[in-house]
Chain A
Amino acid sequence: MAESEKIDYEPISVREALTEMKDVSEIMIDLAYSAALFNSHELAEEVLELEKRVDYLAYIIDMNTMLAARDAEDAKHLTAVTTVAAATNKISDAAADIASIVLKEIGIHPIVRKAFEQVEERLARTIVKPSSILVNRKLDDLELAAKIGVDVIAIRRRQKWLIDPSEEEIVMEGDVLIVRGAPHGVDELKDVAEGKIKELE
């Protein structure tokens, strides 16, 4: 178990924190199922990284909502906020539980995994190598969805997560891309990110 980080009060907008929490928890669920079905330790570890972020946001939201209540009426409205934040946190905990199934090598029956693979779109993680043609290109210009049927659903840039990145985002060397799409498209993107393919068809 990793050492727990200390948390200090930070005056951030509850709206921003809760929006991030909601987006991250939804991505965590997708990643976690993919991690289980493809038995991917990489994806499972990403899920646990995101879980840390959600836990942090949960504390910050609690602190800020407590400070925002001035009377009983406020408290009632804000209870709705903390309840939703707690439920969202629970969703991310569920995703983390799936990731643990993978990391503890409890595993999923291979035949079921194979069958699941056919019905579900595939998620994958890939790191952008310096030699890749993706480097310094705008997502919008790459047209990954149109060309190979792949969506970039998140980018991890060092410690920072860009969830559902904007079309204006520029891909940088070392970015970790979390992508979704049909298996052949996902494989193609991996080769492109690693610099093995120099052209997007």
Chain B
Amino acid sequence: MTIIQWILLGSAMFSVGLYGVLTRRNAVLVLASVEIMLSAVNINLVAFDTYLADPAFTGQIFALFVIALAAAEVGIGIAIVLMIFRNRHSADVDELDLMRY
């Protein structure tokens, strides 16, 4: 196994997630695209952890922290989407333009 095959997979998934964040209009699907980006970062971290054979397992532990933060982020994100839906009757991010210049 080479290291670049893992990093290329991580980069490809990160780019796909970026495309989703930029193009999706439904707020829940924007959050799902962010999850793909975080998952790509996890692949990167774990692959480099195995590559470096770190005795402290720093890469894997940071992947665990990323997972915990992603869970917290989804919880807060869904709560915000729910509140926006309650006030505006829509989960479309294009309609949230109150702060636009």
Partners in one complex: no
B interface residues (Cβ-Cβ under 8 A, vs A)? none
